Amino acid sequence: MSMEHMPNSYSGQDGEMRYSSYLGHANQAADGHANPSVDKRSVDQPLQMGVQREALPIENPLSSAAARVPQAIAHSSGIVLQGRRLRSFVSSTDVAIIRNTNADAILAVYPFTGHPVITQAILAVAQAPVFVGVGGGTTTGTRVIELAVFAEMQGVAGVVLNAPSTVTTVRDVAMAVNIPVIATVTAWNRSVVDKIESGAGAINVAAGKDTAQVVYLIKQRYPEIPVLASSGRSDEAILETIAAGANALTWTPPSAQAIQGAMMNRYRGEQDETGTNRHGPSNASNASNGTDPAAHAKSSDTAKREPRHKRQTSAPEHGGNEELMPF
């Protein structure tokens, strides 16, 4: 930028000095040595050291947290796909779960012969990159290659081959498509090496209780290969797998039926172990005096979840002419 095209805030001798300082910090950032106390957006207002900057949520009041991935997965390094870092893969083909999950990617592998219609249904509801299974176990031969090519044309981010896939299948699929090919393995053996050498772009480890050990052995031999692994049933298992070298983790959410069952239990107000209704006193007795605690709690919860501009105001209790406040 020439001095004649410089913004007014950088005009004059003092402005030239501040602009030079700005360029210096910008060059440091380009070299990876930026001064953390300086904000490139405004050299006049440097960042304050020690001030924590947390992400602020923008939530849909109708969304549910039931299909959100464990927070421990955020400790993984992630797999970078076209500039996007993917740390969590939700393993599901349930369109309701896929639509409501906050996972970075979808791992859609199912125990049936693959079909483009299923892939299209998942792509229609997914809000994250989709990696779809194309066979290798139940489905073999040329159909695997055809499914992989068709899935690429549909817009998936990658294809997944099941553990029984042969080395030849891995090689043929990798030659036929230009998207990543993820090969699933269940143990550390010669086939893992052969699949990587045949063109697998990433390895999906599903070795049960031995997952962390298999991840560690793969990373010792191939530190440059991206590895995603099953997360297990606890945060401890997740952290152990990450420590072993997993770049991303797959997470199996509760089924939609299980989530619906828990919701219905809340609706029915089932009694706890002491025999006391979870909603408190009988609704019938409260209905007589117009104070239903369940209805009151529901209305209060709804009011909290709704955005400010959608909250309804109530009329004055005594019918006065007081001006209604918007909030």
Range(s) of the domain holding residue 139? 71-256
Tell whether 268 is covered by a domain: no
The answer to whether residues 22 and 162 belong to one domain is: no
Nearest to 228 by CA among 219, 236, 220: 219
Tell whether 75 is covered by a domain: yes
Which of 224, 256, 288 finishes a domain? Answer: 256
pLDDT at residue 233, rounded to an integer:
87
Tell whether 51 is covered by a domain: no
The answer to whether residues 120 and 207 belong to one domain is: yes
Determine the Cα–Cα distance for residues 196 and 203; give it in Å rounded to an integer.
8
Distances (CA, A) of 66 to 63, 114, 162, 253: 9, 28, 28, 8
Tell whether 48 is covered by a domain: no
pLDDT at residue 313, rounded to an integer:
57
The answer to whether residues 141 and 222 belong to one domain is: yes
Alpha helices in the chain (DSSP H): 12-30, 95-100, 116-125, 142-154, 167-176, 190-197, 211-221, 235-244, 256-268, 283-288, 293-305
Phi, psi at 99, each rounded to 5°: -70, -30
Pairing of strands 202-205, 227-230: parallel
The answer to whether residues 23 and 152 belong to one domain is: no
pLDDT at residue 164, rounded to an integer:
94
pLDDT at residue 59, rounded to an integer:
76
The answer to whether residues 113 and 233 belong to one domain is: yes
The answer to whether residues 144 and 24 belong to one domain is: no
Nearest to 157 by CA among 207, 113, 122: 122
Tell whether 220 is covered by a domain: yes
**Mean pLDDT for back-to-back runs of 10 residues, the chain (327 residues):** 47 50 51 48 57 77 80 96 96 94 96 94 97 91 95 97 95 97 96 95 96 97 96 93 97 90 86 45 46 50 59 54 51
Q: 152 and 177 in contact (C-beta within 8 Å)?
A: yes
Determine the Cα–Cα distance for residues 245 and 90; give it in Å rounded to an integer.
19
The answer to whether residues 83 and 187 belong to one domain is: yes
The answer to whether residues 175 and 28 belong to one domain is: no
The answer to whether residues 192 and 142 belong to one domain is: yes
The answer to whether residues 27 and 82 belong to one domain is: no
Amino acid identity of residue 199, one-letter, is: G
For the chain, count helices (H), then strands (E).
11, 10
Phi, psi at 312, each rounded to 5°: -90, 145
Radius of gyration of the CA atoms of the chain, in A: 27
SS3 per-residue string spanning 160-174? EECCCCCHHHHHHHH
Distances (CA, A) of 74 to 252, 271, 297: 16, 37, 34
Tell whether 89 is covered by a domain: yes
pTM: 0.68
Domain count, the chain: 2
Tell whether 261 is covered by a domain: no
Tell whether 262 is covered by a domain: no
DSSP 3-state of 54 = coil
Phi, psi at 199, each rounded to 5°: 125, 5
Which of 236, 256, 276 finishes a domain? Answer: 256
pLDDT at residue 283, rounded to an integer:
44
Report DSSP letters for 3-20, one per residue.
GGGS-GGG-HHHHHHHHH
The answer to whether residues 252 and 123 belong to one domain is: yes
pLDDT at residue 43, rounded to an integer:
46
